[in-house]
């Protein structure tokens, strides 16, 4: 079975293929928009993760008529009423390091108990007659400073316990607890039944 992952980011393809393989799925080929020579920007105009995931999946399915995954992720901080949320990648408007600085600044005098947060991944899977959604989360709290050099985005300030940020984990370790992992194992369950 061939599935289109409606993204231009080929790193995501590797991460998701690894999750598929680790969970015994070997008969699915994943292609990205880039693999199909499509470089068009998809306007993420949705107001929720679900809407943005649908926009991506719908774009891919309409254009290529393949079962398509649209995925949207971000960071939600309780104290900030869920911000940065769908605006995670463009929170400061000045790039990733400035996004982190903005969050640290907004939580400057906030005590640890109030720094709870989660990453969320919402998947929309569209094929002929079905549009399904799967949500995965990863819980932690926002640290007081950057820690670790791995990962990307907000990983250096996303603490999974008092000693470790996500950026201190190896790729393999992170990929077993991440919001994307927790969403994709739900899709995998569906696909296993579907291909029986």
Q: Which of the 8 DSSP states describes residue 84?
A: B
**Which residue, 132 or 150, has its beta carbon nearer to ligand IMP?**
150
Candidate residues 66, 153, 157, 175; the one interacting with ligand IMP per rule CB under 6 A: 153
Residue 139 touches ligand IMP, criterion: CB under 6 A: no
Question: 72 catalytic, yes or no?
Answer: yes
119 close to 178: Cβ distance less than 8 angstroms: yes
Q: How far is the CB of 69 from ligand IMP (least distance, A)?
A: 12
Secondary structure string (H, E, C) spanning 132-194: EEEEEEEEEEECCCCCCCCCCCCHHHEECCCCCEHHHCCHHHHCCCCHHHHHHHHHHHHHHHH
Instruction: Pick the catalytic residue from 18, 22, 72, 78.
Output: 72
**Which residue, 127 or 155, has its beta carbon nearer to ligand IMP?**
155
Q: How far is the CB of 42 from ligand IMP (least distance, A)?
A: 11
Q: Hey, which residues between 66 and 95 contact ligand IMP (CB under 6 A)?
A: 72-75, 88-89
C-alpha–C-alpha distance, residues 17 and 68, integer Å? 15
Nearest to 59 by CA among 42, 39, 35: 42
Nearest residue to the partner ligand IMP, using Cβ: 153
Binding stretches for ligand IMP (CB under 6 A): 72-75, 88-89, 119, 151-155, 178
Residues annotated as catalytic are: 72
């Amino acid at each position: 079975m061939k599935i289109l992952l409606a993204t231009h980011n080929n790193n995501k393809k590797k991460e998701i293929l690894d999750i598929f393989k680790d969970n015994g799925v070997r008969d699915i080929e994943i292609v990205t928009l880039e693999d199909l020579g499509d470089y068009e920007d998809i306007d993420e105009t949705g107001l929720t993760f679900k809407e943005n995931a649908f926009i991506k999946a719908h774009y891919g399915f309409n254009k290529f008529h393949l079962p398509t995954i649209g995925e949207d992720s971000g960071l939600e901080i309780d104290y900030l009423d869920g911000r940065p949320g769908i605006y995670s990648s463009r929170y400061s408007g000045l790039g990733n390091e400035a996004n982190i600085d903005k969050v640290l600044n907004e939580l400057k005098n906030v005590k640890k108990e109030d720094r709870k947060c989660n990453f969320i991944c919402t998947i929309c899977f569209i094929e002929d007659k079905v549009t399904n959604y799967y949500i995965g989360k990863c819980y932690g709290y926002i640290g007081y400073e950057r820690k670790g050099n791995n990962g990307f985005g907000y990983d250096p300030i996303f603490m999974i316990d008092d000693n470790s940020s996500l950026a201190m984990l190896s790729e393999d370790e992170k990929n077993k607890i991440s919001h994307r992992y927790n969403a994709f194992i739900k899709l995998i369950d569906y696909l296993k039944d579907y291909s029986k």
